[in-house]
Structure 1
Amino acid sequence: MNNLQVSIEDVPLNRFHQWLTVRSGGGSFVDGYVLSIVGVVMLQLSSALQLDSFWEGMIAASALIGIFFGGFIGGWLTDVAGRKRIFFVGPVIFVLSSLAQCWADSALALFLLRLLTGIAVGIEYPVATALLVEFMPRKYRGPRLAALALLWFAGAACAYLVGELILRSGVADAWRWVLASGAVFGGLLLLVRLGTPESPRWLLNKGRQAEADTIIKNVYGKHFSLANLPEQAEEHKLPLRALLHSGYGKRMLFVVVFWTCSIVPVFAVYAFAPKVLAALNLTGDLGSFSSIVITLFFVIGCLLATRLVNVMGRRNMLICSFLFSGLALLGLGTYNSSSGALIVLFFSLYALFIGGAQVLTLVYPNEIFPTEMRAVAVGIGTSFSRVGAAAGTYLVPAALGGIGVANTLYAAAAITLVGLLVSWLYAPETRALSLQEAAALE
């Protein structure tokens, strides 16, 4: 094979790609862990710190607020300072903020530390996904990005397992050690990421051709060079302000709207699953069992989407995901007084079908923007989608009491169907394209 004719996007997976998947995916695992761990000990810490309802809500929402700011900061820093440097910011913050939570002695201190943790999570989204996508061959790009959503769920599940083990250990102030446990996983992530190279695409974008060429040779072999890297020529580079106009403004609108529409019902309904299920007359052991089943279907939905993202294509998967999950929510609203089995079925179908949109929140923004704005686009999508998630989570209790469970579910379905309309109008197909082709406006 003549290496001069082979794009690095068409090479087979090698050991470096596998290791980079662990390095980037580890960030998603830790994100899920540190975000979920506070829920395990909310009852204990609320009692220990004598929290009122205001501070309970603020501490629960603090990470979402932090993600909003972290997305902006992380996207900007990743494009300005480089992927490699910012790749270590999140793990360092995870270690320091988790350890500090062990000594938090007030509601304000815990709020600020959880806010800092959320900022670190927001930084992780753009840097980990940008670095992964800029090295990954096109055939594996979608599935590997989609798999990050699965690893988030794995981290969340691990948080509940580890948290329960520590709480049952009999250690004094066990809730503090539960919160501090995130430092262990943050430290492991930091060690795993040592030795990660800079993205050749980012280096080329900054005019550092010699460094980019050296990294390509180290990763792919001495017979590879910049000639094997499909990337925009320097004279065609677009300024960052292009994100706000032309075709990229429309693409940014698409990403923000579909990302928001995909997670608002998930955060709003799933965060209050016991309340929603109780309003649907599923209480006690049946309600607990139903919550477990629905969570399992969220995981299955993401797993199936990871396997099918190259088979169905991005556009078809997104449209089908919004269509069928929206219909499931309509079914829940329509048959809200039916048998428990039917309600759990509709809930499970929603969880199953929304998996496609969930995994594409990490795939689309990394594929449809060029190198100089890729991380910023992911950061903006992360930030604005969390505003919607926070608003949806805040409004659910009021909606259940004010307009009833049926209308609340109809509102969630309407949001999902907005995502369907936007996806139908603007979602491109990028399955078989190189990153340069996928990011091109024409």
Structure 2
Amino acid sequence: MSNKNYEIRYPEDVSRIISEHAGKGKTNKVIWLALIGVFIDAYDLTTLSFGIEQVIHEFSLTPIMTGVVASAIVCGTIVGNLVGGFLTDKIGRYRVFMADMVLFVIAAIVAGFAPNVWVLIIARFVMGISVGVDLPVAMSYLSEFSKFSGKSNKASRLAAWCPMWYAASSACFGLVLALYFLLPPEYSHWLWRASLVFGAVPALLIIFIRGKYLTESPIWLANQGRLKEASEILSTSYDIATTVVADENKNFKKQQKIQPNFLVLFNSTYLSRTIVAITIHISVAFQYTTIAFFLPSILTRFFHTTTLTTITTTLALNLLFAFTGGLLGVYLARRFASRHVLLAGFLIQFLALILLGLIGHPHSTFFLYSAIILLGIWLFAEGFGPGAQMMVYPTMAYPAEIRGIGVGFNRAVTGVAQAIALFILPLWMTKYQTDVFSIIAIFAFVPIVIIGFIIKFEPTHNDIDFNESQNRQDIDNIIV
């Protein structure tokens, strides 16, 4: 334990201590547990991107029912984002995190053994609720157990959610590839079921080891006026000696605990930040759903690849382009302004989509490989740019009291956009074929205009948790 003893008088003192000492003690374990939660979310959302074709065949689905099955989980995330974001700020990070892990395990097993399409739809909806609940609390953990600047700072750890996301996607397709060779041909239709059930394994891991490493966020506790509890966690998790020298009741007598309220995101202080975050999330939702989620369908329908080629190509693109792009995003996040990295990613994506639209259906080997490389370039840009930065913006734009609802609201916006995209994209792909790339390019162009020229907000210029007194005053002006 550190020989120095820190005095805690106000909530911002806790933020200052964490910003100085993050990375010590058990805190890195907490970060990894939060990232494992992200892994589960990504794995869950990826499982049917390949398996959807098997589900269509097994349950004889129409295009409309295919859209319902595909969008069920995303509809669940909308509910989970809103409820989870509210509860994360209301009752704390720890209890919400553990509850959603239990819910996920149950839903994943039920989905894997679904006897009919309606059970699958309901189970996937519940899984979506779990995913939606998890992201606000996971992002809160990543932010509130990290320092503001330097190596392994808040921005880079938040950006780490992206390579973890693509690691999960790659793991999903790696499992499908292994099962493809292990299962006898007559049981090949079990691929999607086995991959769904396997997703419960990391969630069970978190449940079993939670007591040893996972704690409540001391920043959240401090902002609830619970300075003594925050002090205890600084001692047990950070090995930092602290003494609370303030009278908690006196300090908070004139300042009531802030109640989570979604309206606060639209007051004069946060409106521009919310607009930027919403723009990013809608843009990413439509692009990601088109390229990443429907990547196996694109390869099969437009490029006419075989089942094995589809699996291996999808896995290779995720590992070589998306995952490496995500790792680059972590590096860039601690060295450059988030806004600049974000704009670079959107610009590359826009160009890749325009070129994909011009190529259309590849009629030669050269254009086929060119189209596949362009898909890889889009995934690489997603990894280091919008994919990484989309969680940096809402997490670092809002203080601890409303961080959960800020992330939850923006993820709910993503969920609405993804649900719409999952429902209409199969219809668009049937009607417009490869022209769909040119249509989706609009969602890369719009954020370039808004973030590049209209609202130039940069979330990494100010540690919003450290300047807590002003944050509280801003929020108190609209929450009565």
- Residue 391 of structure 1 deviates from its aligned partner by 2.0
Deviations 1:85-105, CA, capped at 9 Å, x for gaps: 101012101211122235432
CA–CA distance in 1 between the matches of 2:314 and 2:58? 28
- Residue 337 of structure 1 deviates from its aligned partner by 6.8
Task: Choose 368-377 or 248-257, whichever is displaced more.
Answer: 248-257
Deviations 1:1-54, CA, capped at 9 Å, x for gaps: 966496320225224121011110110111122232344544555555555554
What does residue 272 of structure 2 align with? 250
CA–CA distance in 1 between the matches of 2:300 and 2:171? 27
Contact 1:67 / 1:383 at 8 angstroms: preserved in 2?
A: yes
CA–CA distance in 2 between the matches of 1:105 and 1:12? 48
Contact 1:430 / 1:438 at 8 angstroms: preserved in 2?
A: no
Given the alignment of the two structures, is residue 141 of structure 1 paired with residue 170 of structure 2, yes or no? Answer: no
What does residue 305 of structure 2 align with? 284
- Residue 367 of structure 1 deviates from its aligned partner by 0.7
- Residue 114 of structure 1 deviates from its aligned partner by 0.9
- Residue 306 of structure 1 deviates from its aligned partner by 1.2
Pairing partner for 1:265 from 272, 282, 287: 287
Q: 1:293 to 1:166 in 2, by over 3 A?
A: closer
CA–CA distance in 2 between the matches of 1:249 and 1:79? 19
Contact 1:101 / 1:180 at 8 angstroms: preserved in 2?
A: yes
CA–CA distance in 1 between the matches of 2:449 and 2:60? 46
CA–CA distance in 1 between the matches of 2:49 and 2:301? 22
- Aligned pair count reads 436
Given the alignment of the two structures, is residue 385 of structure 1 paired with residue 414 of structure 2, yes or no? Answer: yes
Q: 1:112 to 1:372 in 2, by over 3 A?
A: same
Structure 1: unaligned runs, 5 residues or longer:
228-232
Given the alignment of the two structures, is residue 79 of structure 1 paired with residue 92 of structure 2, yes or no? Answer: no
What does residue 204 of structure 1 align with? 222
- Residue 205 of structure 1 deviates from its aligned partner by 2.1
The TM-score with structure 1 as length reference comes to 0.87
Deviations 1:396-421, CA, capped at 9 Å, x for gaps: 34334444534x22222221111112
Q: 1:22 to 1:326 in 2, by over 3 A?
A: same
CA–CA distance in 2 between the matches of 1:102 and 1:114? 10
The AA in structure 2 aligned to 1:154 is A
What does residue 135 of structure 2 align with? 125
Q: 1:136-175 maps to which residues of 2 (within 5 A)?
A: 136-139=146-149, 140-166=153-179, 168-169=182-183, 174=190
Given the alignment of the two structures, is residue 396 of structure 1 paired with residue 433 of structure 2, yes or no? Answer: no
CA–CA distance in 2 between the matches of 1:277 and 1:110? 25
Given the alignment of the two structures, is residue 183 of structure 1 paired with residue 183 of structure 2, yes or no? Answer: no
Contact 2:49 / 2:294 at 8 angstroms: preserved in 1?
A: no
The AA in structure 2 aligned to 1:354 is E
Q: 1:262 to 1:3 in 2, by over 3 A?
A: farther
Contact 2:70 / 2:423 at 8 angstroms: preserved in 1?
A: no
What does residue 36 of structure 1 align with? 46
What does residue 465 of structure 2 align with? 436
What does residue 301 of structure 1 align with? 325
Given the alignment of the two structures, is residue 58 of structure 1 paired with residue 73 of structure 2, yes or no? Answer: no
- Residue 299 of structure 1 deviates from its aligned partner by 1.7
What does residue 477 of structure 2 align with? none
SS at match of 2:465: helix
Contact 1:37 / 1:163 at 8 angstroms: preserved in 2?
A: no
RMSD: 3.2
Pairing partner for 2:242 from 213, 224, 232: 224
Given the alignment of the two structures, is residue 318 of structure 1 paired with residue 342 of structure 2, yes or no? Answer: yes
What does residue 351 of structure 2 align with? 327
What does residue 13 of structure 2 align with? none
Pairing partner for 1:372 from 388, 397, 401: 401
The AA in structure 2 aligned to 1:283 is H
The TM-score with structure 2 as length reference comes to 0.81
Given the alignment of the two structures, is residue 99 of structure 1 paired with residue 117 of structure 2, yes or no? Answer: no
SS at match of 2:160: helix
Contact 2:299 / 2:305 at 8 angstroms: preserved in 1?
A: no
- Residue 368 of structure 1 deviates from its aligned partner by 0.8
Q: 1:370 to 1:39 in 2, by over 3 A?
A: same
Q: 1:41 to 1:392 in 2, by over 3 A?
A: closer
Contact 1:216 / 1:225 at 8 angstroms: preserved in 2?
A: no
Q: 1:397 to 1:40 in 2, by over 3 A?
A: closer
Give the share of equivalent positions with the same residue, in percent: 24
Q: 1:290 to 1:179 in 2, by over 3 A?
A: closer
CA–CA distance in 2 between the matches of 1:363 and 1:43? 34
CA–CA distance in 1 between the matches of 2:170 and 2:224? 40
The AA in structure 2 aligned to 1:135 is F
Deviations 1:338-396, CA, capped at 9 Å, x for gaps: 73343334333222222211011221111110111101011111111122122223333
- Residue 77 of structure 1 deviates from its aligned partner by 0.9
CA–CA distance in 2 between the matches of 1:413 and 1:153? 22
SS at match of 1:224: strand
Pairing partner for 2:36 from 20, 26, 31: 26
Q: 1:178 to 1:8 in 2, by over 3 A?
A: closer
What does residue 440 of structure 2 align with? 412
- Residue 65 of structure 1 deviates from its aligned partner by 1.0
What does residue 230 of structure 1 align with? none
- Residue 292 of structure 1 deviates from its aligned partner by 4.8
Q: 1:41 to 1:354 in 2, by over 3 A?
A: closer
Task: Choose 253-262 or 40-49, whichever is displaced more.
Answer: 40-49
Deviations 1:95-138, CA, capped at 9 Å, x for gaps: 11122235432221111111101110000100111122112112
The AA in structure 1 aligned to 2:272 is K
Contact 1:293 / 1:348 at 8 angstroms: preserved in 2?
A: no
